Amino acid sequence: MKPPELATRATPRQDRSRATKDLVLQVAAAVLGEVGLEGFNTNLIAERAGVGPRAIYRYFPNKFAILGALASELLELERAWVGDLSAIGAAEDWRIGVERSIVGYFDSAAAQPGYAALRTAIHALPELQAIVNDANGSLQDDLAQGLKALGVDLAPPRLNALCRTIIEASARILEIALEAPPTEAQLLLGELKRMVVNLLRDYLP
């Protein structure tokens, strides 16, 4: 079976065209969050966006390309949601900074339309996993730099392993928390904060 095409067709040059493409992605995220992957289709997106199907196909050959564009945009936001650990002040307890990053990620992801549904789609469509791997690579580099700035002194292979462990474990628990009722979500966040802090305790004063 041929994998779905994820590449977009054109890069809009005019303001109006860029606005149309941005609108399509904004509406697509909301539609994905509402109907999930099974109900996600270009006709519904066109209807909700108030544009013709041709306006969508001008930029996206199919719904999978829309999902790929959404994944690229939303996963890039993760770096801003997590924040920069190296910005933690010398007088501030690093534990507070780590916990703030986890809460900041969760709150931002919960407020982002379609984010939880997009994460579900990523697990269902292996073709989107390459986009996630690229995003996680950038996030891993950010985390490694932040931990080094806080005083973690490890050889690169072990530091990379530490960062990957934190990212992969955190991503899965946060995905579950985003789908959970509020009380359960807060309990999961509490356990995640304790887990990450305890993991880093051996490497930080």
State residue 90's pLDDT score: 65
State residue 2's pLDDT score: 38
User: Taking the model in full, what pTM does it have?
Assistant: 0.81
Q: What token pair was written down for 13?
A: 């040059």
> For the chain, which ranges sit under pLDDT 50?
1-3
Q: What token pair was written down for 65?
A: 């390309």
DSSP helix/strand/coil, 180:
coil
State residue 129's pLDDT score: 81
State residue 4's pLDDT score: 55
State residue 13's pLDDT score: 59
Confirm if 67 and 128 have CB atoms less than 8 A apart: yes
